[in-house]
Structure formats: structure tokens, C-alpha cells
Amino acid sequence: MGRSIVAVVLGIILGGIVVGLVEYVGHMIYPMPAGIDTSNPESLKTYAANAPTGAKLFVILAWALGSLTGGWLAAFVARQSHTQLALIVGGVLMIFGIMNMLTIPSPLWFWIAGILVFLPAAYAGARLVRSPQVV
């Protein structure tokens, strides 16, 4: 039980770090225009409404890679019930993604892609961990 909790917590932490790093790369490629105050919610909403599609796709990519790596780490650490724990990590990250989309208005395609990316990516991460072979 303790190992499972540690696995999920570590998976969520790694997933969050990966999301942040990929989004950082996205901001390097698609920088925010001058004058955007990131501490002002209205300014962020205006930017999000007019952000290039590529910038939005980087967020989806970040969520996918965060779920993939977080799911992988949870499965790797857990050893047992690794697929279920990876999906828990993906589910928690999905809740964070939904909170993001509720805070910053997003187009319908972004909602659909955003919701659909987390659990399959976490599942894929779990599948990357080889199960111990029974001899």
C-alpha cells in the first residue's frame, strides 16, 4: 500500500515537471506578445483566445508527455497494480488539465483533445514497464 502511494505521488510530481518543461519549450517557440501580464486572469484569457494553434498544441503535447512519463514512473515504482496506478496519475493530471481549461477559455477541439489525451498516455506509460517474468 505504501509503495503504491509513493508511486502515485512520484508519478504526479514527475508528470507535472514534464508538463512544465514542455510548456516552457512551447513558450520559447511561441512567445507571449509583449504586454501580457501573466498575473492578470483577464490578460491571460485574451492571450489564450488569440494564441496560435501551435501554442495550444504544445499544451496538449505537454499533457500527453506528462501523463506518459508520470504513468511510467508510477508503474515502475509500484511493481504491482501498475496499470491502475498509472491511470490514477493520468486521472489526477486530467483533473489539473480540466481546471486549467475552466480557468482559461479554450476552444472545443482543445477540450476534446485535452480530455482524451491523459488516460491513454498514462496507460501507454504503464505499458512501457515490463512485467516481471514468471519462471
- At 43 the pLDDT is 82
Report which DSSP code applies to 129: S
Q: How far is residue 37 from each of residues 40, 41, 76, measured CA to CA in Å?
A: 5, 8, 40
| 3 state DSSP class of 67 | helix
Reported pTM: 0.89
Residue 133 lies in a domain: no
| Helix 53-78 vs helix 82-103: crossing angle, to nearest 10 | 150
As for how many domains the chain has, the answer is: 1
- Whether residue 85 lies inside any domain: the answer is yes
Q: Structural domain of residue 123, as residue ranges?
A: 2-127
The terminus-to-terminus CA distance of the chain in angstroms comes to: 26
- Give Dmax over CA atoms of the chain in angstroms: 63
Check residue 83 and give its pLDDT.
Answer: 92
Helix/strand/coil percentages in the chain, nearest 5: 80, 0, 20
- Residue 134 maps to a domain: no
What is the chain's pLDDT, residue by residue, as a tens digit (135 residues)? 788 999 999 999 999 999 999 999 999 999 988 888 878 888 888 888 888 999 999 999 999 999 999 999 999 998 778 899 999 999 999 999 999 999 888 899 999 999 999 999 999 999 999 765 444
> Can you give the pLDDT at residue 118?
98
pLDDT of residue 135: 47
pLDDT at 131: 60
Cell of 98: 480540466
